[in-house]
Amino acid sequence: MKTIRIKYFTDKIEKLRYIDGKSDWIDLRAAETITLKAGEFKLIPLGIAMELPKGYEAHIVPRSSTYKNFGVLQTNHCGIVDETYCGNNDQWYFPALAMRDTTIECNDRICQFRIFEHQPTLVFDETDDLAGADRGGFGSSGKQ
């Protein structure tokens, strides 16, 4: 089990915990109330900073209900925080683009994260022939 040091920037959000015992993803919450008009962008503070273990990174993605509940998209699709972003002022943020007028209340769950080990160093071996089955060259179905 890894221990991660965490700094909270506010006492207005719930402390981090696993998602109701159902998943190894952990919800993140808006650290302040944010009101956005359709088309507006805002970095929403998540109220935390962490010292991730060396060789690890956090992947931050929207919750499955984020768009339905708030009408916002995460503009970087998947945020990556590595272990070097670990200072006292290195608060995590959710980059939100509002697709409709919306208000996100302080402590609303808007995204989630999971920690991964860094990808190992890879070596690419160039070839003109791959041994796998040819599936048509487009997506999982091979159809365009």
Q: Does residue 82 carry a catalytic annotation? A: yes
Q: What is the 3-state secondary structure (H, E, C) of the chain?
A: CCCCEEEECCCCCCCCCECCCCCCCEEEECCCCEEECCCCEEEEECCEEEECCCCEEEEEEECCCHHHHHCEEECCCCEEEECCCCCCCCCCEEEEEECCCEEECCCCEEEEEEEEECCCCCCCCCCCCCCCCCCCCCCCCCCC
Phi and psi (nearest 5°) for 40? -85, 150
Q: Which among 11, 24, 82, 90 is annotated as catalytic? A: 82
Write out the catalytic residue numbers: 82
